[in-house]
Structure 1
Amino acid sequence: MFHISGFADELDRDFEKQMSIWHDMGLKYFELRSAWGINVMELSDDHIKKIKDISSQYGIKVSCIGSPIGKTYIEDDFSYELNRLDRAIFLAKYFGCSFVRVFSFYSKGNILEKREEVFKRLAKMAEIARESNIILLHENEHAIYGELSLQSREIAKELNSPNFGLVFDPANYSVAGEDVIEAEKNMHDYITYIHVKDYSIKEKIMKVPGEGDSNIKYVFNQHRDKDMFISMEPHLDIAGQFGGSTSPDKYRMAVESVKKMLNELNISWE
Protein backbone atom coordinates (compact mmCIF):
# COMPACT_ATOMS: atom_id res chain seq x y z
CA MET A 1 0.00 0.00 0.00
CA PHE A 2 1.13 3.55 -0.73
CA HIS A 3 0.60 6.14 1.98
CA ILE A 4 0.18 9.63 0.50
CA SER A 5 2.06 12.29 2.41
CA GLY A 6 3.49 15.64 1.34
CA PHE A 7 5.00 18.99 2.17
CA ALA A 8 2.05 20.90 3.56
CA ASP A 9 4.16 24.03 3.98
CA GLU A 10 3.89 24.64 0.22
CA LEU A 11 0.29 25.68 0.85
CA ASP A 12 0.64 28.46 3.41
CA ARG A 13 2.97 29.68 6.16
CA ASP A 14 0.27 29.23 8.81
CA PHE A 15 0.34 25.68 10.13
CA GLU A 16 -3.31 25.44 11.11
CA LYS A 17 -4.32 26.55 7.61
CA GLN A 18 -2.00 23.88 6.19
CA MET A 19 -3.74 21.18 8.22
CA SER A 20 -7.22 22.45 7.39
CA ILE A 21 -6.52 22.19 3.66
CA TRP A 22 -4.74 18.86 4.17
CA HIS A 23 -7.80 17.48 5.95
CA ASP A 24 -10.08 18.74 3.18
CA MET A 25 -7.94 16.85 0.64
CA GLY A 26 -8.36 13.66 2.66
CA LEU A 27 -4.66 13.24 3.42
CA LYS A 28 -3.54 11.47 6.60
CA TYR A 29 0.20 12.22 6.66
CA PHE A 30 2.50 15.18 6.05
CA GLU A 31 6.23 15.76 5.91
CA LEU A 32 7.32 18.36 8.46
CA ARG A 33 9.71 20.86 6.82
CA SER A 34 8.50 24.18 8.21
CA ALA A 35 5.61 25.84 10.03
CA TRP A 36 4.77 29.54 10.36
CA GLY A 37 7.71 30.14 8.00
CA ILE A 38 10.17 28.57 10.46
CA ASN A 39 12.39 25.71 9.29
CA VAL A 40 11.84 22.45 11.16
CA MET A 41 15.33 22.62 12.66
CA GLU A 42 14.56 26.03 14.20
CA LEU A 43 11.16 25.18 15.70
CA SER A 44 11.01 25.66 19.46
CA ASP A 45 9.56 23.12 21.89
CA ASP A 46 6.49 25.34 22.15
CA HIS A 47 6.14 25.28 18.37
CA ILE A 48 6.36 21.51 18.10
CA LYS A 49 3.81 21.04 20.89
CA LYS A 50 1.42 23.31 19.00
CA ILE A 51 2.09 21.40 15.76
CA LYS A 52 1.35 18.11 17.49
CA ASP A 53 -1.83 19.45 19.06
CA ILE A 54 -3.15 20.91 15.79
CA SER A 55 -2.25 17.93 13.59
CA SER A 56 -3.77 15.53 16.13
CA GLN A 57 -7.02 17.49 16.12
CA TYR A 58 -7.24 16.87 12.36
CA GLY A 59 -6.16 13.22 12.69
CA ILE A 60 -3.02 13.82 10.62
CA LYS A 61 0.40 12.26 11.37
CA VAL A 62 3.99 13.10 10.45
CA SER A 63 5.59 10.74 7.92
CA CYS A 64 9.10 12.23 7.91
CA ILE A 65 11.15 15.06 9.35
CA GLY A 66 12.03 17.02 6.20
CA SER A 67 15.31 18.38 7.51
CA PRO A 68 17.96 20.26 5.49
CA ILE A 69 20.77 18.29 7.19
CA GLY A 70 23.61 17.89 4.71
CA LYS A 71 22.75 21.04 2.75
CA THR A 72 25.90 22.56 4.22
CA TYR A 73 29.52 22.75 3.13
CA ILE A 74 31.69 19.69 3.70
CA GLU A 75 34.43 22.10 4.80
CA ASP A 76 32.31 23.29 7.75
CA ASP A 77 32.56 21.86 11.27
CA PHE A 78 30.68 18.55 11.35
CA SER A 79 29.53 19.11 14.93
CA TYR A 80 26.91 21.53 13.61
CA GLU A 81 25.24 18.76 11.60
CA LEU A 82 25.57 16.22 14.40
CA ASN A 83 23.73 18.59 16.72
CA ARG A 84 21.01 19.09 14.11
CA LEU A 85 20.76 15.33 13.62
CA ASP A 86 20.22 14.85 17.35
CA ARG A 87 17.40 17.38 17.20
CA ALA A 88 15.88 15.79 14.09
CA ILE A 89 15.90 12.36 15.73
CA PHE A 90 14.25 13.85 18.80
CA LEU A 91 11.57 15.36 16.56
CA ALA A 92 11.02 12.07 14.73
CA LYS A 93 10.45 10.26 18.01
CA TYR A 94 8.29 13.09 19.35
CA PHE A 95 6.00 12.89 16.32
CA GLY A 96 6.09 9.08 16.12
CA CYS A 97 7.71 8.73 12.71
CA SER A 98 10.69 6.69 11.53
CA PHE A 99 12.28 8.89 8.85
CA VAL A 100 14.62 11.90 8.73
CA ARG A 101 15.58 13.42 5.37
CA VAL A 102 19.26 14.23 4.76
CA PHE A 103 21.58 15.35 1.95
CA SER A 104 25.23 14.66 1.08
CA PHE A 105 26.88 18.08 1.35
CA TYR A 106 28.03 20.91 -0.86
CA SER A 107 31.67 21.90 -1.29
CA LYS A 108 33.45 25.20 -1.79
CA GLY A 109 35.48 23.26 -4.37
CA ASN A 110 34.53 20.03 -6.17
CA ILE A 111 32.39 17.85 -3.90
CA LEU A 112 33.35 14.73 -5.86
CA GLU A 113 36.90 15.22 -4.62
CA LYS A 114 35.63 15.07 -1.03
CA ARG A 115 34.34 11.48 -1.27
CA GLU A 116 36.18 10.16 1.77
CA GLU A 117 34.87 12.89 4.07
CA VAL A 118 31.33 12.67 2.65
CA PHE A 119 31.19 8.93 3.30
CA LYS A 120 32.77 9.28 6.74
CA ARG A 121 30.13 11.79 7.78
CA LEU A 122 27.19 9.88 6.33
CA ALA A 123 28.38 6.64 7.93
CA LYS A 124 28.55 8.37 11.32
CA MET A 125 25.06 9.76 10.80
CA ALA A 126 23.74 6.32 9.82
CA GLU A 127 25.29 4.80 12.94
CA ILE A 128 23.59 7.40 15.14
CA ALA A 129 20.31 6.67 13.35
CA ARG A 130 20.78 2.94 13.94
CA GLU A 131 21.26 3.51 17.66
CA SER A 132 17.99 5.49 17.68
CA ASN A 133 16.04 3.12 15.39
CA ILE A 134 15.56 5.89 12.83
CA ILE A 135 15.98 5.66 9.03
CA LEU A 136 17.83 8.43 7.21
CA LEU A 137 16.50 9.21 3.74
CA HIS A 138 19.03 10.67 1.31
CA GLU A 139 17.60 13.00 -1.33
CA ASN A 140 19.55 14.11 -4.38
CA GLU A 141 20.12 17.82 -4.88
CA HIS A 142 22.02 19.96 -7.36
CA ALA A 143 25.74 20.26 -6.51
CA ILE A 144 25.81 17.80 -3.58
CA TYR A 145 27.79 14.56 -3.74
CA GLY A 146 24.71 12.45 -4.44
CA GLU A 147 23.29 14.67 -7.18
CA LEU A 148 23.07 11.88 -9.77
CA SER A 149 21.53 8.43 -9.48
CA LEU A 150 24.78 6.45 -9.65
CA GLN A 151 26.25 8.59 -6.89
CA SER A 152 23.15 8.12 -4.75
CA ARG A 153 23.35 4.36 -5.29
CA GLU A 154 27.06 4.42 -4.47
CA ILE A 155 26.33 6.04 -1.12
CA ALA A 156 23.60 3.55 -0.17
CA LYS A 157 25.66 0.57 -1.33
CA GLU A 158 28.79 1.74 0.50
CA LEU A 159 26.96 2.42 3.76
CA ASN A 160 24.99 -0.84 3.46
CA SER A 161 22.77 0.11 6.39
CA PRO A 162 19.11 -0.68 7.05
CA ASN A 163 19.01 2.77 8.63
CA PHE A 164 19.97 4.58 5.42
CA GLY A 165 17.71 4.61 2.36
CA LEU A 166 17.17 6.72 -0.74
CA VAL A 167 14.40 9.13 -1.61
CA PHE A 168 13.50 8.92 -5.28
CA ASP A 169 12.33 12.26 -6.64
CA PRO A 170 11.68 11.83 -10.38
CA ALA A 171 11.70 15.56 -11.15
CA ASN A 172 15.04 16.08 -9.43
CA TYR A 173 16.61 13.64 -11.87
CA SER A 174 14.86 15.27 -14.82
CA VAL A 175 16.29 18.62 -13.72
CA ALA A 176 19.73 17.02 -13.37
CA GLY A 177 19.51 15.88 -16.99
CA GLU A 178 19.06 12.17 -16.29
CA ASP A 179 16.55 9.82 -17.83
CA VAL A 180 14.18 8.99 -14.98
CA ILE A 181 13.71 5.37 -16.03
CA GLU A 182 17.47 4.76 -16.02
CA ALA A 183 17.85 6.63 -12.73
CA GLU A 184 15.16 4.49 -11.12
CA LYS A 185 16.86 1.32 -12.36
CA ASN A 186 20.17 2.50 -10.91
CA MET A 187 18.65 3.18 -7.50
CA HIS A 188 15.82 0.65 -7.39
CA ASP A 189 17.16 -1.66 -4.68
CA TYR A 190 17.71 1.21 -2.25
CA ILE A 191 14.60 3.35 -2.83
CA THR A 192 12.74 3.67 0.47
CA TYR A 193 10.54 6.72 -0.08
CA ILE A 194 9.24 8.64 -3.12
CA HIS A 195 8.82 12.38 -3.59
CA VAL A 196 6.23 13.37 -6.16
CA LYS A 197 6.84 16.26 -8.50
CA ASP A 198 7.00 16.38 -12.29
CA TYR A 199 9.18 18.44 -14.64
CA SER A 200 8.76 19.54 -18.23
CA ILE A 201 12.15 19.42 -19.93
CA LYS A 202 10.99 21.58 -22.84
CA GLU A 203 9.25 24.23 -20.74
CA LYS A 204 11.74 24.01 -17.84
CA ILE A 205 8.94 24.23 -15.27
CA MET A 206 7.26 21.90 -12.80
CA LYS A 207 4.00 20.36 -13.96
CA VAL A 208 1.03 18.63 -12.35
CA PRO A 209 2.19 15.05 -11.64
CA GLY A 210 1.66 12.94 -14.75
CA GLU A 211 1.81 15.90 -17.15
CA GLY A 212 5.60 16.31 -17.34
CA ASP A 213 8.55 14.20 -18.45
CA SER A 214 9.46 12.56 -15.13
CA ASN A 215 7.69 9.22 -15.71
CA ILE A 216 5.96 9.26 -12.35
CA LYS A 217 3.47 6.55 -13.25
CA TYR A 218 6.33 4.26 -14.29
CA VAL A 219 8.08 4.91 -10.98
CA PHE A 220 4.93 4.10 -9.02
CA ASN A 221 4.53 0.85 -10.91
CA GLN A 222 8.11 -0.22 -10.18
CA HIS A 223 7.37 -0.05 -6.45
CA ARG A 224 3.76 -1.21 -6.48
CA ASP A 225 4.33 -4.11 -4.10
CA LYS A 226 5.97 -2.03 -1.37
CA ASP A 227 4.41 -0.56 1.73
CA MET A 228 5.82 2.95 1.44
CA PHE A 229 5.21 6.68 1.61
CA ILE A 230 4.86 8.80 -1.48
CA SER A 231 5.26 12.46 -0.58
CA MET A 232 3.72 15.30 -2.58
CA GLU A 233 6.13 18.15 -3.36
CA PRO A 234 4.58 19.70 -6.48
CA HIS A 235 6.41 23.09 -6.54
CA LEU A 236 3.82 24.38 -9.04
CA ASP A 237 4.25 28.07 -8.21
CA ILE A 238 7.76 28.42 -6.80
CA ALA A 239 10.63 25.90 -6.70
CA GLY A 240 13.57 26.89 -4.51
CA GLN A 241 16.65 25.45 -2.83
CA PHE A 242 14.97 25.09 0.55
CA GLY A 243 11.35 24.62 -0.45
CA GLY A 244 8.60 25.71 -2.76
CA SER A 245 5.02 26.89 -2.94
CA THR A 246 1.84 25.63 -4.57
CA SER A 247 -1.59 27.27 -4.37
CA PRO A 248 -4.33 25.18 -2.73
CA ASP A 249 -6.19 24.74 -6.03
CA LYS A 250 -3.07 23.53 -7.84
CA TYR A 251 -2.14 21.30 -4.91
CA ARG A 252 -5.56 19.66 -5.06
CA MET A 253 -5.08 19.07 -8.79
CA ALA A 254 -1.72 17.42 -8.06
CA VAL A 255 -3.18 15.16 -5.37
CA GLU A 256 -6.13 14.13 -7.52
CA SER A 257 -3.80 13.37 -10.42
CA VAL A 258 -1.71 11.10 -8.19
CA LYS A 259 -4.77 9.31 -6.86
CA LYS A 260 -5.96 8.79 -10.44
CA MET A 261 -2.62 7.28 -11.48
CA LEU A 262 -2.63 4.94 -8.49
CA ASN A 263 -6.18 3.83 -9.25
CA GLU A 264 -5.28 3.18 -12.90
CA LEU A 265 -2.36 1.05 -11.72
CA ASN A 266 -4.55 -0.75 -9.15
CA ILE A 267 -2.18 0.27 -6.37
CA SER A 268 -3.95 0.57 -3.04
CA TRP A 269 -3.41 3.85 -1.20
CA GLU A 270 -4.54 5.85 1.78
Structure 2
Amino acid sequence: MPVPAERDHTQGLFADRCAGIGDEAAPDLAGQIEAVRALGWSRIELRTVERTALADLPPEAVRDLAHRLRDADLAVVCLASRIGNWARPVTTPFETDLAELETLLDQCAVLGCRFVRVMSYPNDGLGAREWASQAIDRLGRLAHRARTAGVTLLHENCAGWAGQSATRMLRLLRETDSPALRLLFDTGNGVPHGYDAAALLRQILPYVAHVHIKDARRTPQGTTEYVLPGDGDAQVADCLRTLLESGYRGAFSLEPHLSARPHAGVDAGTDAARPFVAAGRRLEQLLAPHHDTAARAAGTP
Protein backbone atom coordinates (compact mmCIF):
# COMPACT_ATOMS: atom_id res chain seq x y z
CA MET A 1 0.00 0.00 0.00
CA PRO A 2 1.48 3.39 -0.97
CA VAL A 3 2.47 5.63 1.93
CA PRO A 4 0.66 9.00 1.95
CA ALA A 5 2.88 11.88 0.88
CA GLU A 6 2.32 13.74 4.17
CA ARG A 7 3.68 10.84 6.17
CA ASP A 8 6.72 10.65 3.89
CA HIS A 9 7.44 14.33 4.58
CA THR A 10 7.14 13.91 8.34
CA GLN A 11 9.03 10.66 8.42
CA GLY A 12 11.88 12.20 6.46
CA LEU A 13 12.47 14.66 9.29
CA PHE A 14 11.88 12.37 12.26
CA ALA A 15 12.99 8.95 10.97
CA ASP A 16 16.55 9.49 12.19
CA ARG A 17 15.28 10.67 15.59
CA CYS A 18 12.81 7.87 16.30
CA ALA A 19 14.04 4.64 17.84
CA GLY A 20 12.55 1.65 19.57
CA ILE A 21 13.52 -0.53 22.52
CA GLY A 22 13.65 -3.66 20.45
CA ASP A 23 12.82 -6.31 23.02
CA GLU A 24 9.31 -4.86 23.36
CA ALA A 25 8.69 -6.07 19.80
CA ALA A 26 10.49 -9.43 19.87
CA PRO A 27 12.94 -11.34 22.08
CA ASP A 28 15.30 -12.15 19.19
CA LEU A 29 17.42 -9.62 17.33
CA ALA A 30 15.95 -10.52 13.94
CA GLY A 31 12.45 -9.71 15.18
CA GLN A 32 13.63 -6.51 16.82
CA ILE A 33 15.30 -5.36 13.62
CA GLU A 34 12.26 -6.25 11.55
CA ALA A 35 9.89 -4.24 13.76
CA VAL A 36 12.04 -1.11 13.81
CA ARG A 37 12.72 -1.27 10.08
CA ALA A 38 8.99 -1.79 9.41
CA LEU A 39 8.56 1.72 10.78
CA GLY A 40 11.26 3.06 8.48
CA TRP A 41 13.37 4.15 11.45
CA SER A 42 17.15 4.12 11.62
CA ARG A 43 17.81 3.68 15.35
CA ILE A 44 17.32 0.99 17.94
CA GLU A 45 17.72 0.88 21.72
CA LEU A 46 18.95 -2.39 23.20
CA ARG A 47 18.04 -3.92 26.57
CA THR A 48 17.79 -7.70 26.17
CA VAL A 49 18.44 -10.09 23.30
CA GLU A 50 17.10 -13.63 23.40
CA ARG A 51 15.79 -12.77 26.89
CA THR A 52 19.32 -12.06 28.11
CA ALA A 53 20.41 -8.71 29.50
CA LEU A 54 23.09 -7.05 27.38
CA ALA A 55 25.72 -7.14 30.11
CA ASP A 56 25.28 -10.93 30.36
CA LEU A 57 26.03 -11.53 26.68
CA PRO A 58 29.47 -12.88 25.75
CA PRO A 59 31.73 -10.61 23.69
CA GLU A 60 31.35 -12.73 20.55
CA ALA A 61 27.56 -12.34 20.73
CA VAL A 62 27.92 -8.55 20.95
CA ARG A 63 30.23 -8.49 17.95
CA ASP A 64 27.60 -10.49 16.05
CA LEU A 65 24.93 -7.98 17.13
CA ALA A 66 27.05 -5.13 15.82
CA HIS A 67 27.56 -6.84 12.47
CA ARG A 68 23.87 -7.61 12.02
CA LEU A 69 22.78 -4.11 13.01
CA ARG A 70 25.22 -2.55 10.56
CA ASP A 71 23.85 -4.79 7.82
CA ALA A 72 20.35 -3.54 8.71
CA ASP A 73 21.51 0.11 8.69
CA LEU A 74 20.45 0.53 12.30
CA ALA A 75 22.39 2.67 14.76
CA VAL A 76 22.30 1.89 18.48
CA VAL A 77 21.10 4.98 20.32
CA CYS A 78 21.25 3.70 23.92
CA LEU A 79 21.95 0.63 26.04
CA ALA A 80 19.37 0.14 28.82
CA SER A 81 21.22 -1.18 31.86
CA ARG A 82 20.10 -2.60 35.21
CA ILE A 83 22.31 -0.19 37.13
CA GLY A 84 20.46 1.30 40.12
CA ASN A 85 17.10 -0.08 38.95
CA TRP A 86 14.15 -1.49 40.93
CA ALA A 87 15.93 -4.82 41.41
CA ARG A 88 19.13 -3.25 42.78
CA PRO A 89 18.57 -1.26 45.95
CA VAL A 90 21.17 1.07 47.36
CA THR A 91 22.53 -1.73 49.57
CA THR A 92 23.51 -3.83 46.54
CA PRO A 93 27.31 -4.21 46.43
CA PHE A 94 28.63 -1.36 44.32
CA GLU A 95 30.91 -3.80 42.52
CA THR A 96 27.83 -5.32 40.86
CA ASP A 97 26.98 -2.10 39.05
CA LEU A 98 30.59 -1.17 38.38
CA ALA A 99 31.16 -4.55 36.72
CA GLU A 100 28.03 -4.10 34.59
CA LEU A 101 29.15 -0.64 33.55
CA GLU A 102 32.58 -1.92 32.53
CA THR A 103 30.95 -4.52 30.31
CA LEU A 104 28.57 -1.97 28.80
CA LEU A 105 31.38 0.48 28.10
CA ASP A 106 33.12 -2.23 26.08
CA GLN A 107 29.84 -2.89 24.30
CA CYS A 108 29.37 0.82 23.55
CA ALA A 109 32.71 0.80 21.75
CA VAL A 110 31.71 -2.23 19.68
CA LEU A 111 28.19 -0.98 18.93
CA GLY A 112 29.07 2.66 18.34
CA CYS A 113 26.82 3.85 21.18
CA ARG A 114 27.41 6.73 23.59
CA PHE A 115 24.47 6.48 26.04
CA VAL A 116 23.77 4.04 28.90
CA ARG A 117 20.48 4.22 30.83
CA VAL A 118 20.70 4.06 34.64
CA MET A 119 18.47 4.69 37.67
CA SER A 120 19.22 5.89 41.20
CA TYR A 121 18.76 3.01 43.62
CA PRO A 122 15.60 2.22 45.60
CA ASN A 123 16.05 2.48 49.34
CA ASP A 124 16.63 -0.55 51.55
CA GLY A 125 16.25 0.60 55.12
CA LEU A 126 18.64 3.54 55.10
CA GLY A 127 17.77 6.91 56.57
CA ALA A 128 16.84 9.66 54.12
CA ARG A 129 20.20 11.43 54.27
CA GLU A 130 22.22 8.24 53.94
CA TRP A 131 20.10 7.05 51.01
CA ALA A 132 20.66 10.33 49.19
CA SER A 133 24.37 10.34 49.98
CA GLN A 134 24.88 6.77 48.81
CA ALA A 135 22.90 7.21 45.58
CA ILE A 136 24.69 10.43 44.65
CA ASP A 137 28.11 8.99 45.49
CA ARG A 138 27.55 5.84 43.45
CA LEU A 139 26.29 7.65 40.38
CA GLY A 140 29.10 10.17 40.65
CA ARG A 141 31.69 7.41 40.61
CA LEU A 142 29.96 5.63 37.74
CA ALA A 143 29.74 8.87 35.74
CA HIS A 144 33.46 9.49 36.31
CA ARG A 145 34.25 6.07 34.86
CA ALA A 146 31.85 6.56 31.94
CA ARG A 147 33.43 9.92 31.09
CA THR A 148 36.85 8.32 30.66
CA ALA A 149 35.28 6.11 27.97
CA GLY A 150 33.42 8.93 26.22
CA VAL A 151 30.02 7.59 27.34
CA THR A 152 27.18 9.48 29.02
CA LEU A 153 24.94 7.92 31.67
CA LEU A 154 21.26 8.80 31.41
CA HIS A 155 19.27 8.84 34.63
CA GLU A 156 15.63 7.88 34.06
CA ASN A 157 12.64 9.29 35.94
CA CYS A 158 11.74 5.87 37.32
CA ALA A 159 13.08 3.82 40.24
CA GLY A 160 15.40 5.18 42.88
CA TRP A 161 16.21 8.16 45.03
CA ALA A 162 15.91 10.80 42.30
CA GLY A 163 13.42 8.97 40.10
CA GLN A 164 10.26 10.96 40.73
CA SER A 165 11.46 14.37 41.86
CA ALA A 166 12.80 17.18 39.70
CA THR A 167 14.41 18.70 42.79
CA ARG A 168 16.34 15.50 43.45
CA MET A 169 17.31 15.05 39.81
CA LEU A 170 18.74 18.55 39.71
CA ARG A 171 20.54 17.97 43.01
CA LEU A 172 21.97 14.74 41.61
CA LEU A 173 23.34 16.57 38.58
CA ARG A 174 24.63 19.46 40.67
CA GLU A 175 26.46 17.32 43.22
CA THR A 176 27.93 14.82 40.77
CA ASP A 177 28.95 17.78 38.58
CA SER A 178 29.72 15.59 35.57
CA PRO A 179 28.99 16.12 31.88
CA ALA A 180 28.81 12.32 31.71
CA LEU A 181 25.53 12.25 33.66
CA ARG A 182 22.37 13.61 32.06
CA LEU A 183 18.65 12.86 32.21
CA LEU A 184 16.37 10.46 30.38
CA PHE A 185 12.74 11.54 30.41
CA ASP A 186 10.06 8.85 30.04
CA THR A 187 6.67 10.32 29.18
CA GLY A 188 4.68 7.49 30.75
CA ASN A 189 6.38 6.91 34.11
CA GLY A 190 4.37 9.50 35.98
CA VAL A 191 1.13 7.54 35.65
CA PRO A 192 2.16 4.36 37.53
CA HIS A 193 4.30 6.32 39.99
CA GLY A 194 1.67 8.95 40.73
CA TYR A 195 3.22 12.23 39.63
CA ASP A 196 2.73 14.75 36.82
CA ALA A 197 5.49 13.90 34.36
CA ALA A 198 4.73 16.87 32.10
CA ALA A 199 5.24 19.25 35.02
CA LEU A 200 8.47 17.46 35.96
CA LEU A 201 9.70 17.77 32.38
CA ARG A 202 9.36 21.54 32.42
CA GLN A 203 11.73 21.70 35.38
CA ILE A 204 14.44 19.44 33.98
CA LEU A 205 14.32 20.41 30.27
CA PRO A 206 17.89 21.73 29.85
CA TYR A 207 19.35 18.43 31.02
CA VAL A 208 17.22 15.96 29.03
CA ALA A 209 19.41 14.10 26.54
CA HIS A 210 17.13 11.16 25.66
CA VAL A 211 13.39 10.45 25.72
CA HIS A 212 11.30 7.29 26.09
CA ILE A 213 7.77 7.30 24.69
CA LYS A 214 4.94 5.45 26.37
CA ASP A 215 1.44 6.29 27.60
CA ALA A 216 -0.77 4.87 30.34
CA ARG A 217 -3.89 5.42 32.41
CA ARG A 218 -5.09 4.27 35.80
CA THR A 219 -7.92 1.77 35.87
CA PRO A 220 -10.84 1.88 38.33
CA GLN A 221 -9.13 -0.99 40.13
CA GLY A 222 -6.06 1.16 40.73
CA THR A 223 -3.78 -0.65 38.29
CA THR A 224 -1.92 0.80 35.31
CA GLU A 225 -3.06 0.12 31.76
CA TYR A 226 -0.63 0.94 28.96
CA VAL A 227 -2.17 2.37 25.80
CA LEU A 228 -1.13 3.85 22.45
CA PRO A 229 0.75 7.14 22.78
CA GLY A 230 -1.81 9.92 23.05
CA ASP A 231 -4.64 7.72 24.37
CA GLY A 232 -3.74 7.87 28.06
CA ASP A 233 -3.12 10.33 30.86
CA ALA A 234 0.59 10.96 30.32
CA GLN A 235 0.12 14.11 28.22
CA VAL A 236 2.44 12.72 25.56
CA ALA A 237 1.49 15.31 22.95
CA ASP A 238 2.14 18.15 25.40
CA CYS A 239 5.50 16.64 26.35
CA LEU A 240 6.54 16.36 22.71
CA ARG A 241 5.58 19.97 22.09
CA THR A 242 7.50 21.13 25.18
CA LEU A 243 10.58 19.21 24.12
CA LEU A 244 10.61 20.36 20.52
CA GLU A 245 9.82 23.99 21.32
CA SER A 246 12.70 23.99 23.80
CA GLY A 247 15.09 22.88 21.03
CA TYR A 248 15.49 19.25 22.12
CA ARG A 249 17.42 17.47 19.37
CA GLY A 250 17.79 13.97 20.80
CA ALA A 251 15.99 10.72 20.09
CA PHE A 252 12.41 9.65 20.79
CA SER A 253 12.72 6.00 21.79
CA LEU A 254 9.52 3.93 21.79
CA GLU A 255 8.88 1.77 24.88
CA PRO A 256 5.13 1.22 24.64
CA HIS A 257 4.65 -1.62 27.18
CA LEU A 258 1.58 -2.71 25.20
CA SER A 259 2.20 -6.44 25.10
CA ALA A 260 5.72 -6.91 26.40
CA ARG A 261 7.77 -5.68 29.34
CA PRO A 262 10.76 -8.05 29.23
CA HIS A 263 12.62 -6.29 32.04
CA ALA A 264 9.63 -7.02 34.30
CA GLY A 265 9.18 -10.61 33.16
CA VAL A 266 6.34 -9.90 30.70
CA ASP A 267 7.66 -11.56 27.58
CA ALA A 268 7.40 -10.37 24.00
CA GLY A 269 5.23 -13.01 22.40
CA THR A 270 4.74 -13.81 18.75
CA ASP A 271 2.30 -10.92 18.25
CA ALA A 272 4.25 -8.25 20.16
CA ALA A 273 5.55 -6.60 16.99
CA ARG A 274 2.06 -5.63 15.83
CA PRO A 275 1.21 -3.30 18.78
CA PHE A 276 4.80 -2.06 18.80
CA VAL A 277 4.50 -0.92 15.18
CA ALA A 278 1.05 0.54 15.87
CA ALA A 279 2.54 2.58 18.71
CA GLY A 280 5.30 3.74 16.40
CA ARG A 281 2.78 4.92 13.80
CA ARG A 282 0.95 6.82 16.52
CA LEU A 283 4.20 8.46 17.64
CA GLU A 284 4.74 9.65 14.07
CA GLN A 285 1.25 11.14 14.05
CA LEU A 286 1.94 12.99 17.30
CA LEU A 287 5.21 14.35 15.94
CA ALA A 288 3.74 15.43 12.59
CA PRO A 289 2.32 18.81 13.76
CA HIS A 290 5.80 19.76 14.99
CA HIS A 291 7.56 19.36 11.65
CA ASP A 292 8.26 23.08 11.25
CA THR A 293 9.43 23.50 14.86
CA ALA A 294 11.85 20.58 14.55
CA ALA A 295 13.08 21.80 11.17
CA ARG A 296 13.91 25.22 12.61
CA ALA A 297 15.78 23.63 15.54
CA ALA A 298 17.76 21.48 13.13
CA GLY A 299 18.48 24.39 10.79
CA THR A 300 16.60 22.69 7.97
CA PRO A 301 14.91 24.94 5.40
TM-score using structure 1 length: 0.92
The 3 A distance-change label for structure 1 pair 243 and 28 is farther
Gaps of 5+ in 2: 1-12
Distance apart, 1:26 and its partner CA: 0.9
Closer/same/farther in 2, CA of residues 146 and 79 from structure 1, 3 Å limit: same
1:181 is aligned to 2:198: yes
Choose which of 125, 138, 141 in structure 2 pairs with 1:121.
Answer: 138
Alignment of 1:195-206 (within 5 A): 195-202=212-219, 204-206=224-226
In structure 1, list runs of 5 or more residues that go unmatched. none
- The reply to whether residue 223 of structure 1 matches residue 249 of structure 2 is no
CA shift, 1:111, in A, is 7.0
Q: Quick one: which of 251, 258, 266 aligns to 1:236?
A: 258
Taking the aligned partners of 1:243 and 1:99, their CA distance within structure 2 comes to 24
Q: Which of residues 166, 175, 188 in structure 1 aligns to 2:183? A: 166
Q: How many residues align?
A: 268
* TM-score scaled by length of structure 2: 0.83
Establish whether residue 48 from structure 1 lines up as the match of residue 62 from structure 2.
Answer: yes
Say if 2:95 is the partner of 1:79.
Answer: yes
Q: Which moved more, 1:58-67 or 1:222-231?
A: 222-231
Task: Describe the superposition over 1:9-65 as per-residue Cα deviations: whole angstroms up to 9, x where unpaired.
Answer: 111112112212222221211111011111111011121122112111111111011
Structure 2 residue aligned with 1:211: 231
Conserved in 1, the CA contact under 8 Å of 2:24 and 2:261? no
Q: From 272, 275, 281, give the equivalent of 1:247.
A: 272
Instruction: State the shift of 1:95 in Å.
Output: 0.7
1:231, CA displacement in angstroms? 0.6
CA contact 2:215–2:230 (8 Å) conserved in 1: yes
Deviation at 1:240, TM superposition (A): 6.4
Counterpart in the other structure of 2:124 = 108
In structure 1, the partner of 2:9 is none
TM-aligned CA deviation for residue 202 of structure 1: 4.1
Task: Evaluate the alpha carbon distance shift between residue 177 and residue 240 of structure 1 in structure 2; reply closer, same or farther with a 3 A threshold.
Answer: farther
Deviations along 1:55-104, one digit per CA (max 9) or x if unpaired, are 11111111011111112122222122111111111111111111011111
73, 89, 92: which one aligns with 1:59: 73
1:51 and 1:216 map into 2 onto residues whose CA distance is 32
Larger Rg: 2
